[in-house]
Amino acid sequence: MAAHSDYLRLFTVFVFILAMFYAAGLTVSWSVVLVIGLFGIMLPLLRRMRQRTSGTSRRVCVLVLGDIGRSPRMRYHSLSLSKHGFNVTFVGFVETKPPEDLLKEDKIKIVPIREMKGVKGPKILTYATKVVFQCLQLLSVLMRMELQSHILMQNPPGLPSISVAWFVSILRGSRLIIDWHNYGYSIMALSHGQGHPVVRLAERYEHFFGPLATHSLCVTNAMKADLQNNWGIRATTLYDRPASFFRETPLEVQHELFLKLANTHPQFQSSISELEEKNLEKTAFTVRDFTHDTVTRRPKRPALLISSTSWTEDEDFSVLLKALEEYEGFVRGGASLPSLVCVITGKGPQKDHYRRLIASLHLQHVNICTPWLEAEDYPVLLGSADLGVCHTSSSGLDLPMKVVDMFGCCLPVCAIHFSCLHELVKHEENGLIFRDFQELAEQLKSLLSEFPSSESKLGMFRRNLRISRGQCWDDNWDQIVLPLI
């Protein structure tokens, strides 16, 4: 009945306006009549799309144009919102199984979208049609869901999600919050070059739509300043913080993980030449004594080095691989250094390329494996490692989430230098900063020269991390984001 009365009122106003024009002797073209008529029809539809209910203020859409399982910050946003009683619609790709903490949360509903393919042909046609298809898919998903009080989206990737989310927020009266992790155009520039027309177009796109959000979050103070000075965007810095499940792993849990990984990765298996002793269960790093029901570290175990990547152009893993070749040379030259097991986790477009490169190295004292870990196993492995290695970003204005997670596990890091890294990594306090593969190789040599002694520099870094371990994600989010919602 309400809708019918709306139409009746609009029709009455429409007829009245036309009558006034004709009474004044003015002629009205049919095109004007058509526009006014369409406007009259759309108004009640728009009103219905924006009609709020008692539950609207407690509904938030979290949007990422990427794999939900590999979007930890947006996952943490969703969990924090649900803990405060919000009903969350989490929209994104489901390329891998989402973590259990999302699946078991009643207030989080995962709405999968597909990564669209463009029309085959010239690259520009393929890319343009891919963007159009993605726009239509996002528009369909966002318009069909219940009215959301806020749309909280990640950028990058922001093409075309920023424009679609903004358009929907205007139509439906939602508030748009952009969480800036980096700049999309700067990532594109790594493979296409800064002057490529598509890169320039992507930069203009971000510059135009970015300031239209109601609120903006960003990951560093350096990015906050850049957004303000060069984009006219007033953003709030929300530093990444480790979730509570990123912590040092108990030795018994380490042993179980190593046994699990040993089934598929020989780097975690005990040496074949060893004679298995009765009542002992061994991995390359640990030993379980069933007689005394204890787990101990092996005294001459290899050092466990870990790095995480999405295998994209903004992380040049040749730096790490060259450093590992240098380390191999140190050992062969007689340096008193442990063997290394280097675990590089993640999935991405360049993974096969680097796996072929790794296979061609033929290292004897450095073993490299590239597993894809289940979400629950990743923090356990970080909490079991001896040292982490991290690479740079395309813009130099974001901080690597992987280092945040490592620090949550009190895991020291070697990280490549870029402008705002000092906001996270304190050189010679919780890790070391390098500029090229040779410097990284020397740092590995220095840090592992006394391995596994806890009195080494590596041990000192770990103790410093235990002391300085600050706010977790939940406390930080409650202070900064909750007031915006």
Check: CB of residue 60 under 8 Å from CB of residue 48. Answer: no
User: CA 93, 84, 139: angle at the middle one, nearest 5?
Assistant: 35
Check: CB of residue 119 under 8 Å from CB of residue 125. Answer: yes
Residue 13: predicted pLDDT: 56
Same domain, 234 and 312: no
The answer to whether residue 218 sits within a structural domain is: yes
Residue 18: predicted pLDDT: 61
Residue 2: predicted pLDDT: 45
Q: Which of 218, 238, 258 is the last residue of a domain?
A: 238
Same domain, 363 and 458: yes
The answer to whether residue 45 sits within a structural domain is: no
Same domain, 219 and 339: no
Same domain, 229 and 308: no
The answer to whether residue 231 sits within a structural domain is: yes
d(CA 461, CA 467): 10
Number of domains in the chain: 2
For 443, the token pair is 């740092």
Q: Which of 195, 219, 238 is the last residue of a domain?
A: 238
Same domain, 205 and 314: no
Same domain, 85 and 184: yes
Same domain, 309 and 458: yes
What CATH number is attached to the domain comprising 87? 3.40.50.2000
Same domain, 462 and 315: yes
- First-to-final CA distance of the chain: 34
Residue 42: predicted pLDDT: 58
The answer to whether residue 255 sits within a structural domain is: no
The answer to whether residue 363 sits within a structural domain is: yes
Question: In which domain, by residue range, is 187 found?
Answer: 57-238
d(CA 154, CA 40): 36
The answer to whether residue 265 sits within a structural domain is: no
Query: Can you tell me which residue has the tokens 């300031």?
Result: 211
Same domain, 195 and 337: no
Q: What is the DSSP string of 340-368?
A: EEEEEE---TTHHHHHHHHHTT--SSEEE
Q: What is the side-by-side strand order in the sheet with 236-237?
A: 108-112, 87-93, 59-67, 150-155, 175-180, 215-218, 236-237
The answer to whether residue 283 sits within a structural domain is: no
Residue 1: predicted pLDDT: 46
Integer CA distances (angstroms), 418 to 32, 377, 394, 431, in order: 58, 30, 10, 15
Q: For the chain, which residues score pLDDT lower than 70?
A: 1-50, 272-277, 313-315, 392-397, 470
Q: Which of 238, 266, 284 is the last residue of a domain?
A: 238
Same domain, 308 and 179: no
Residue 37: predicted pLDDT: 59
The answer to whether residue 454 sits within a structural domain is: yes
Same domain, 228 and 141: yes
Number of H helices, E strands in the chain: 17, 16
